[in-house]
């Protein structure tokens, strides 16, 4: 489960929360995080790069980063008084060498 949902706020990547009616819109909410990988992980990944396959260290790193971006977005939505974020989108952009920005955005709403 996306950890941010454990607080009770509903996330959805459809335009509505299935089975509920939207009663109020609060606008776009965003959350981001910029991360760089650390040397230890890089060395392990470098070794793994020879035989191919999954780079678990990076999978975890990106997963954790995305959770944090989502948590920030949820925090913003909550401060507006929303109880759900609909139409959530994820995007990644490469900012500098060895660093990546992960961000999440969506529309904060209040559902019944």
Q: Residues in the site for other proteins, rule: CB under 8 A?
A: 1-2, 5, 10-15, 17-19, 37, 42, 45, 48-56, 58-59, 62-63, 66, 88-92, 94, 97-98, 100
- Angle (CA) 49-52-54 rounded to 5° is 95
* Contact between residue 22 and residue 110 where contact means Cβ atoms under 8 Å apart: yes
Least Å distance, CB 54 to other proteins, is 5
Taking the least distance from each CB to other proteins, the nearer of 79 and 92 is: 92
Q: Closest by alpha carbon to 68, among 95, 98, 30?
A: 30
Per this entry, what is the length of the chain? Answer: 112
Taking the least distance from each CB to other proteins, the nearer of 3 and 80 is: 3
Taking the least distance from each CB to other proteins, the nearer of 26 and 100 is: 100
Q: 99-111 and 10-11 as β-strands: parallel, antiparallel, unpaired? A: unpaired
Taking the least distance from each CB to other proteins, the nearer of 47 and 80 is: 47
Least Å distance, CB 6 to other proteins, is 10
Secondary structure (3-state) at 56: helix
């Amino acid at each position: 489960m996306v950890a941010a949902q454990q607080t009770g706020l509903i996330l959805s990547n459809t335009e509505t929360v299935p089975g509920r009616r939207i009663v109020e819109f609060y606008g776009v909410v965003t959350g981001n995080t910029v991360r760089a990988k650390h040397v230890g992980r890089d060395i392990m990944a470098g070794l793994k790069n020879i035989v191919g396959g999954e780079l678990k260290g990076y999978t975890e790193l990106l997963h954790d980063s995305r959770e944090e971006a989502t948590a920030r977005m949820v925090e913003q939505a909550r401060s507006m008084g929303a109880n759900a974020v609909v139409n959530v989108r994820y995007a990644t952009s490469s900012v500098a060498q060895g660093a990546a920005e992960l961000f999440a955005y969506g529309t904060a709403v209040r559902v019944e």
